Every structure is written in C-alpha cells, then in structure tokens.
Structure 1
Amino acid sequence: MDNTQSDVVLRRITTILSVVIITLTLVGATTGILLSFYYEPAAGRAYQSLKIIDTEVPYGWLFHKAHQITGNAVVVIALIQVVIMFVSRQFRKSWLTAWISGIFFTLSAIGLGWTAMILSWDQEGFWRFNIELGTIEAIPLVGSILRDILTGGGAISTVTVQHLYTIHSYLISVTAIVLSVVHLLSVLWLELQLKKMYSEGTLPQTDKVQQQPANAQG
C-alpha cells in the first residue's frame, strides 16, 4: 500500500470516528437530559438523588451508566482522531476547520469530565475537586477569580454544585454538540472533495507525486 492509499484509509477512519464522536455526544446529551429529571444539584442531595436514580427509577442505572461511559469514551475517540489526522498529514488550509473544531471539541469533552467530578458529591470527587481548586487558585492574576466563579465565592457548597452543574449542562454541553456537528460536516465535505478530485483527476500536486510508481524514477 503506497502513501496515497494509506492517507485515503486514514481519512476514511477520520470520517468514521467523526460519526462515532457525534453519536456518543448525542447519547451523552440525551442521557444527561433524562438524568436531570431526577438529579438535584445540591450538597448532600446530589449523592442521594443519584442513588435514587440507580436503585428506584426504572432503567435509571442504565442511563446513568451510559452517560458515564459515553463521557469517557468520547474523550478517548477524540484523542485518537487527532492522532490519526496528524499521522495522515492533514495540514492543508482546507483542513483548518476540521482541526480547530476537533481540538476544541476534545477540550470540551475533557471539560465535561472535569466539571462532573463534584456533581456526584462523593468523597473522591469532593477531595479531587478541592485539590484542583488549589491548583486553579495558584494561577497568576486570574486564579482567585476563577475559583470564586466555580465555588460561588466561598467554600465548596451547594452553590458550587449549582455552578458546576450549569457550566456542565448548559455551557460546555451545548458547545460540545455544536463543535461535533461542525467537525463532522467539515470532515464529510473534505471527503466529498477528495472523491470529486479523484473522479476529475485533479488531485493536489503532493498526492500526484505520491501516486508515481517507485520504479518510475531514473
């Protein structure tokens, strides 16, 4: 398999992963909406409400588990796709939208996982968040401001859970959905352009050079 064929395969994999990403994103958003019917963003009540979802709400445990799995899986898939785009050397200007949307989507997916750590209000999430607040506060100039935005200006409390819940459910989630749609559309458009160039024989010069047989030199 020559370089051009390898690049085409990697581009197809990029397209497939884009479909997987938007599918996982929509599943995560849907299960998140279903969980919000019973979840209570309050200190103490958050843990109890999730326990009720897992034990008393019909299929609640399934939606909760699906929400957790999709949240973790979409980060892994997004990172793999960025690596594949890099390996396939997609550095042309036409890939700029795909690169920007893909990278920012990956950051949004990581942000969703980060903001979710305190929403369960368990011991592990509480102390992890408490430690990371110290790291955030150490950031020069804006550290204290960011900490106040996240906590509500005091200790970790119900206000903190509500702030993180709002950031998680409305700000980052909507951003992630928009970015996943933009990313998929940009990758599909590039796939169509590639097919069109193959059919018309108007491949970029770099691809034409790669298509020449190795024994054609000399």
Structure 2
Amino acid sequence: MNNVQYAFVLRRLATILAVAILSLSLTAAVTGILLSFYYEPTAGGAYNSLREIKSEIPNGWLIQRLHEIAGNGLIGTSLIAIVVMFLGEKFRRSWLTAWISGILLTLVAIALGWTAMLLDWTQLGYWRFTIELGTVEAVPGIGSLLREILTGGGAINTVTVAHLYTLHSYILSIGALILAVIHLGGLLLQEKEEKQTLIESEAKFS
C-alpha cells in the first residue's frame, strides 16, 4: 500500500513539475518576444538597448526580470523533474517518452542560458564567453568547427552576437516549447495508463 502511494505521489509530482516547465517555457518565450521588439543584436547595440529597456520602456525592467527568472527556473525545475522521474521509474513507452524529452529539455534549457551569456554584451559576459569558447574548441574533432559557427569567424563581434541571438531566440526556444509539450503529454498518458491498469486490477479481483 505504501509503495502504491509512493508511486502515485511521484507520478503526480512529475506531472505538476511538467506543467510548471511548460508554464516557464511559455513565460520565457512571451517575454523574449516582447524584449525582441527593442533588443538590438549587435556588439555595441546590445548593451545600450538592454539599458534602454530597463530605464525607458514602460515595465521593461519587469519583463526582462521575468525572462531571466523563467530561464533560470526552467533549468532548475527540469533538473528536479529528472530526479523525480528517476525515482518513480515506470518502464513503459509513455514513461520513456517523458524521460527522453525531459533529458533533452534540460539540455536545451542549459543551452538557452549558455547562449544568453553574451547577449547583454557586458565585460563579465564577454570574458565568460571567451573562456567557454576555449572549452568548446577543445572538443575533439568538431571543436574548431563549433567555434567558427558560434563566432562567425575568429573574433567575438557583432556576428557572434547575431549567431547566439538566432540560436537562443529561434532554434533553442522553439525546441524547448516542443519538448515541454511532449514531456507533459507523455506524463499525462502515463497517468491515464496507470489509472486504466488500476481499474483492470480492481475488476479482476472483485
């Protein structure tokens, strides 16, 4: 009986976390779209445009802050969801779908935070990205190619900001939303299967 209750709590917690993940993804996407109206993805314009958003655009500081909180919250919630799903493992197709999409979603959430590193064009972001590029370049076989793709050449400049902005705002953001929907759908399907199994078991022994 305790095992059944334990499994139910973990299953329900995983579903609640999946709803939170989708909500955070939508919040980050909506606030990101609002910021994009005023953000300038260039080496010099990025810093100035973000400063204007904070100080001159009505509620701009709030939108930017919500965007940051949603992004960081997405990473944390995704990691917690992975742990919960691991503890409540049910090796069914629906569980496997939710498990794989959850892992991919966590990686995408981390990548979103990574690509945002340089988008504010501050000294801290610049030097952090420079150090990270050294790590990327050290990847065997494809390190140099990845660096070329990210920077658009050799130096960190406007092209680099544009590339990271494209990855962050279009590819990774859309991927996060799709994975969040798949993750929640897999967990809802798992709950439906578990409920059906319970009904069949009760009918069998009644």
On whether the aligned pair clears a TM of 0.5, the verdict is: yes
Greater fraction of residues in helix: 2
> Identity of aligned pairs, percent?
58
Distance 2:85 2:183 in 1: 12
Q: How far 1:146 sits from its partner (Å)?
A: 0.3
Deviation at 1:43, TM superposition (A): 0.5
Structure 2 residue runs without a partner (length 5+): none
The structure with the largest alpha-carbon Rg is: 1
Aligned to 1:191: 191
Does residue 1:65 correspond to 2:65, yes or no?
Answer: yes
Runs of 4+ off more than 4 Å: none
Name the SS for the 1:201 alignment partner.
helix
Matched, 1:44 2:49: no
Q: Which residue of 1 aligns with 2:91?
A: 91
Q: Which residue of 2 aligns with 1:20?
A: 20
1:197 aligned counterpart, secondary structure: helix
Gaps of 5+ in 1: 204-218
- Name the Cα RMSD after superposition: 1.5
Question: What is the rounded CA distance, in whole Å, between the counterparts of 2:46 and 2:149 in structure 1?
Answer: 20
Residues 197-212 of structure 1 aligned to structure 2 (within 5 Å): 197-201=197-201
* Amino acid paired to 1:175: G
- Per the TM alignment, residue 202 of structure 1 is displaced from its structure 2 partner at its CA by 6.8
In structure 1, how many angstroms separate the alpha carbons of the residues matched to 2:89 and 2:165? 38
Counterparts of 1:1-218 in structure 2, within 5 Å, are: 2-201=2-201
Instruction: State which drifts further: 94-103 or 106-115.
Output: 94-103
1:4-32 deviations in whole A, cap 9, x for unaligned? 21011100000000000000000000000
TM-score under structure 1 length normalisation:
0.90
> Shift in Å at residue 147 of structure 1?
0.2
CA contact (8 A) 2:94 2:186 kept: no
CA apart distance, 1:96: 1.1
How many pairs are equivalent?
Answer: 204
Q: Is the 8 A contact 2:89 2:95 kept in 1?
A: no
Contact 2:98 2:187 survives alignment (8 Å): yes
